[in-house]
Homo-oligomer: A and B are copies of this chain.
Amino acid sequence: MTTQFVDKVDLKYEFSAKDACVARVEPGEEFTVACEMAYNGGLVTSLDAVIRPEDFRYPFFNPMTGPIEIKGAKAGQMLCVRIKEMELEEFGLTGLAPHSGLFQEWIFERQERFSQFKPVRVSDGVIHWSEKLKIPIVPMAGVIGVAPAFGSILSLDNGEHGGNIDVQEMGPGCTVYLPVNVDGGYLYIGDCHARQGDGEVCGMGAIDIGARLTLSVDVQDRPTRMTWPRFETDSHIGTVGLGRPLEDAMRVAYREMIYWLADEHGFTEADAYMLLSSVAEGRATQIMNPKSTFICKVEKSLLV
């Protein structure tokens, strides 16, 4: 039996249960999904790519492959999306965009002459940043999420359904937990990065790149107090909070982690709260999307 392949045709810019599913998979079945580079797709196929500002048309960012139906998934349950492998394309892109990112007036302030766009070659496990600097890749999927129960949500936005959350941990070896809002789950994925720094600060984001992901999806009962996306790696459990300012996103992530520790690992809530104050790993993984992402992680070795 061959692995099902979901190609990057009929790309989507909204999460919506009104979409027709582009594939159907069984729980546990391994399948492969091709994802287009963020920003309208096909922009960079060589280092000489000519990129024009008018190629960027709001809100058509983060083209997604999907929705993918998970057979038997019922509203109220939880998807466990296992990312097994990621294979990156050869050219990636980053750049500076005015009115975006951490320093929104950077370009005006500096009055420098520089290329606003920086295409890079990605091969042999490294990003060829410059003649001298080769940066090891840390591949990840920036957009992963499901259709909401009512209405539609843009692929550049994020929320309890996941979406444009940009968490570096969500690469090979990671299991992402997402709510099932409608029967069938309706999973979408896209916006892969060869590597991303915390904050994704520069306005165009990390090293955007097309990719193929090998996935499998299980369905489980949803933990009683799980409202936001969660994830798990070999070493850590993690929660995702979204909001602005970062304090709001942080509160979501830490609250969800207290619930997780209390509901599934035998801590009282008060003890879990104090434990986080002593051992939590918390990072702002992006600040450029409509809501910023803050994650909270705890080492599994502390969950005795």
A interface with B by C-beta (< 8 Å)? 13-14, 59-60, 94-96, 101-103, 105-106, 108-112, 114, 118, 127, 129-130, 132-133, 135, 150-154, 195-207, 243-248, 250-251, 254-255, 268-271, 273-284, 287, 292, 294, 302, 304
Contacts and interface: CB of A to CB of B under 8 A. Distances in A.
19 contacts: A13-B151, A59-B150, A108-B108, A108-B109, A109-B109, A111-B111, A112-B268, A132-B304, A135-B302, A151-B154, A196-B277, A198-B282, A199-B280, A201-B277, A201-B280, A202-B277, A205-B277, A206-B278, A245-B247
Nearest to A118: B274
Q: How many copies does the complex hold?
A: 4
A274 B95 contact: yes
Given A14-B151, A135-B302, A284-B284, A277 B245 contact: no
A164 to B, nearest CB: 14
Contact of A94 (B151, B268, B278): B278
Given A199-B250, A280-B197, A304-B133, A105 B112 contact: no
Nearest to A95: B274
Given A106-B273, A108-B109, A203-B277, 9 more contacts: A59-B151, A135-B279, A151-B154, A197-B275, A198-B283, A199-B277, A199-B282, A245-B247, A246-B247
